[in-house]
Amino acid sequence: MACCRHKHATPADRAAMCAACSRSVRTTDAGGELWSCTVSGRPLADHIVRRARCPLGRHPSCKTGVLRWLGVRWYGVPMPVRLALWACHARHPRPSRFTGCGCLARAKDLCVSIKDSFTTAACRRRLSPSTRS
């Protein structure tokens, strides 16, 4: 699962998760528009560029590349978020440009373990002395 084990989230990954969050709010002041996080009270630039931790844990973890969104663990930015941002905003990167694969972590882990068990069983059958002549 090399596609899922990126260690560092890019600013695009962090921006995508902040854009998908219902707790980010746009305010207008004399200096123009400012997006801010209603949980931390900080501007989104702090969370995106300066790598401040997301108070809800929605940025990919540096150790595993896993994040929680809608109560489920994902490898990288979830694929539904990638597709929605790409469809709505022409300037966002293509879904394949984000870090990780965007898969549900539990489903991908299950598929990999099933694949590994079949591969291991096939290797054992090939190497067992009873099948040799």
> 100 lies in a domain?
yes
> 10 lies in a domain?
yes
Tell me the sheet residues that pair with 74. 67, 104
Query: pLDDT tens track of the chain, all 133 residues?
Result: 445 555 577 788 888 888 888 888 777 666 666 678 888 888 888 877 877 777 777 777 767 778 888 888 888 888 888 888 888 877 777 777 777 788 888 888 888 888 777 666 666 666 666 654 4
> 121 lies in a domain?
no
> 21 lies in a domain?
yes
Crossing angle of helices 79-88/11-20, nearest 10°? 90
CB burial of residue 23 (10 Å; 0-12, 13-18, 19+): middle
Residue closest to 12 by CA, chosen among 59, 62, 64, 73: 59
Task: Give pLDDT, residue 2.
Answer: 47
> 109 lies in a domain?
no
Locate all alpha helices (DSSP H) within the chain, ordered by sequence.
Answer: 11-20, 44-48, 79-88, 105-127
Of the CA atoms within 13 Å of residue 10, those in its CB half-sphere come to: 11
> 45 lies in a domain?
yes
> 128 lies in a domain?
no
Dihedral of CA 87/64/1/69: which sign?
negative
Which residue range(s) make up the domain with 86? 2-104
Task: Give pLDDT, residue 123.
Answer: 63
The total number of structural domains in the chain stands at 1
> 91 lies in a domain?
yes
Task: Give pLDDT, residue 88.
Answer: 81
